[in-house]
Structure 1
């Protein structure tokens, strides 16, 4: 049975962008851990996470993040096998939860928790048809040029805690697809024990996320780009009537988004409830 008086849980979201710093270089394992020093967060949704990628020193980033935060449990949900690049030399994945090595480079999202997790869930989200224009170096020549990146599959990972379920996700760069994916997450979360909060880079600014879900933002501050934020892409979104205190947005040494966190107060009336779909 759930605790009838669940304790507050500090929930955060961080897009680490493979650990890249403003100069474009990725930190090593020690640099990644050092950059997380001082983050007081019980559950952290992490996006753009690398495993065994040459560009990020072949670090198993989910494991390093979990160790740095003192997590007691965590999951990595890879969405791509291979290295994301404009040549699409990767294979889509979905529905995989891994607590160790997969063999070879992978990329995806993670959810780490300093509090015990009762049960894990994963949801695969289909990509959209649009491509993203980006100017980046050609790995063959070093010259900067315009690339068209295809959309990639996404995922959502849910951790059932004592009196709260936290869903981590990273949605499409195309707003219409991100809205479709968020509605899919909302419908899926209706079958999970409530209350539920969604944490992650939703790629939806301002009030779009709550409008699409009927939820409520527990953090309301711009988060992207990290150097001079113009829009809030990174959310802790309450899908139920829960309290949120001490919101925080902070720039870290790596990542192109700011870290966002808030203390969630589940409330005793939600202890054993599962909301109808």
Structure 2
């Protein structure tokens, strides 16, 4: 009787938990170790690389002592670290717990690779289930929620992971080690890290899907807004991408797939890097199809049915009685031979590609070099590895969708995943009816640091509380992240907008998923954005102008986040924003707000007052806003035209970000 192989289940759950750990560890590099950008990018990169280099000693240790005890100990540490992170208060403890969990996960991966020659099914299902769970949770992961449900699900996952690992048979008797090529399947293990990067950044990212939809329904290609016309496109996009990924990765490949795989992957990643978010839905589908096909091509030497779904079957007669795997996995003493060691090194090398590429891509926003080539290089690497030695591929391209028993099982799984992603995910905001009473407008300006508080935790409740406490009509946000894998793959804007019940306009700065936003309960009549000159600052900047209807009168709100060049103030950008704002307003009441990175009396601050604008916070000065735990810098500002009367300016103490919000009431004179 056929049954799912324990090794497949263990790999699936291990990958699922390891990805979950990475969604905690990666942001910690920036928010905790990086200390709000005060740590050099080179040092942060070295720290990150260190944790991926430490496990490189694992293959030698596994070869000497055997893989089973190492994998078992490592998986217990991995599960325990993941559980502990659910209750950690953040800070250094969170960073080092996540680092220990990451190290344990990489050691487990290396030990598992030494004896698992058919990792494809477990790897694919682990990545697919992780994407489906991330989508179902609306990108707000369990570890940040910390409620009873988070504890329950995390505990169940931890217990299942440990149980699955302990249920894996000893290497010398495991059915999973009796077929397939140890050398050939080193390629599958090598692709684990690059595939994790490409699926997390592009192919299976629900945050990217949500951003794509919000751009799709916008009038301006540089401005995103809630998708009023569709409730479920984000989940649908992810569901379709998951379906393509799993179906192609687990199906039997053929000669047609040999060239279809790299072409689809590279084109999909190329569409993503081209910078047009309206095409990202196509990018996700192509990248998912290509990544799945590439993984399938690396497993062509295994029997098609068993290799496709990780089925344990009776070993060939020549191998019964505990004989050694002819492909080379373990010897008669149960220790790993050269083929197992190669697979172990391949798995770690793939994860090293993951971290190096992630560092290279996101460090560009600090160091100022172009980064579009990084995902393309990784996609090219995946394509080269997949195309190497695929002489066993036969047949025509449509044969990979033939009605084999394992494909019917896969179809049921795909239907469930697609339904979960498309139905569970909440819909996007719809335009609400005007509920602003005639009179003054309460405005809040807040740099939210991608949603992460000073303790390094993704503090969605803290952000919602500090903003909602002001009962704002207009919210101006800086440092809004809508999908960076480095920050955990959250769509912070959608999460906040839904909880505040405020539609938004979003404008990209660093890239299409990182920038500034205006949220408001007032009707939005028009919006426009202006990219600002970089003047030596690596992170891009922009000015987003939104025309609002206030009691039948048009009012303009401009959101910006100035980026000062090294050792200088943001004078050039301030001048550009002042000119743009006053020109766009054309005599209408005007508000310019955001993180200006300049203090009262400095040249950049004077650019706004010289343009005829008034400091709306003047009556409450000094009003320091940064850093949030000991504010001493006045760098978050609100400027208004002379026909607007400010009152009740204030800040609210909170550590939900590294800045404090500023709030002010505005009355049109």
Tell me the TM-score normalised to structure 1 length: 0.71
How many positions carry a matched residue from both structures? Answer: 217
C-alpha distance after superposition, 1:2-55 (max 9, x if no partner): xxxx7321111100111122222333x556545544231111111111112234
1:116 aligns with 523
C-alpha distance after superposition, 1:50-72 (max 9, x if no partner): 1122344322111122222221x
Matched, 1:200 2:594: yes
Relative distance call for 1:112 and 1:237 in structure 2 (3 A) is same
Displacement, 1:224?
1.0
Deviates more, 1:152-161 or 1:177-186: 177-186
Matched, 1:21 2:453: yes
CA contact (8 A) 2:543 2:577 kept: yes
Tell me the TM-score normalised to structure 2 length: 0.31
Relative distance call for 1:7 and 1:25 in structure 2 (3 A) is same
Distance of 1:74 and 1:116 partners within structure 2 = 11
CA contact (8 A) 1:206 1:231 kept: no
Matched, 1:158 2:565: no
Matched, 1:190 2:582: yes
Distance of 2:569 and 2:630 partners within structure 1 = 26
Distance of 1:55 and 1:110 partners within structure 2 = 20
1:63 aligns with 494
- Greater RCO (CA < 8 Å, at least 6 residues apart): 1
CA contact (8 A) 1:33 1:64 kept: no
Displacement, 1:244?
0.4
Match of 1:78 among 500, 508, 513: 508
CA contact (8 A) 2:462 2:656 kept: no
CA contact (8 A) 2:506 2:518 kept: yes
Relative distance call for 1:266 and 1:251 in structure 2 (3 A) is same
CA contact (8 A) 2:479 2:515 kept: yes
1:103-182 alignment, distance < 5 Å: 106-129=513-536, 151-162=538-549, 163-174=554-565, 176=568, 178-182=570-574
Relative distance call for 1:58 and 1:30 in structure 2 (3 A) is farther
2:482 aligns with 51
Relative distance call for 1:39 and 1:58 in structure 2 (3 A) is farther
CA contact (8 A) 1:151 1:173 kept: no
Distance of 2:499 and 2:475 partners within structure 1 = 12
Relative distance call for 1:114 and 1:167 in structure 2 (3 A) is same
Distance of 1:261 and 1:46 partners within structure 2 = 12
Displacement, 1:187?
0.9
2:615 aligns with 217
Distance of 1:50 and 1:124 partners within structure 2 = 17
Deviates more, 1:210-219 or 1:250-259: 210-219
Matched, 1:252 2:660: no
The DSSP-based 3-state class of the residue aligned with 1:229 is: coil
RMSD: 2.1
The DSSP-based 3-state class of the residue aligned with 2:444 is: strand
Displacement, 1:229?
1.2
Bigger helix share:
2
C-alpha distance after superposition, 1:180-212 (max 9, x if no partner): 111111111222232111110000112335521
Instruction: Mark the runs of 5 or more structure 2 residues left unpaired by the alignment.
Output: 1-437
Larger Cα-atom Rg: 2
1:227 aligns with 629
Relative distance call for 1:48 and 1:119 in structure 2 (3 A) is same
Instruction: Mark the runs of 5 or more structure 1 residues left unpaired by the alignment.
Output: 1-5, 82-92, 94-105, 130-149, 268-277
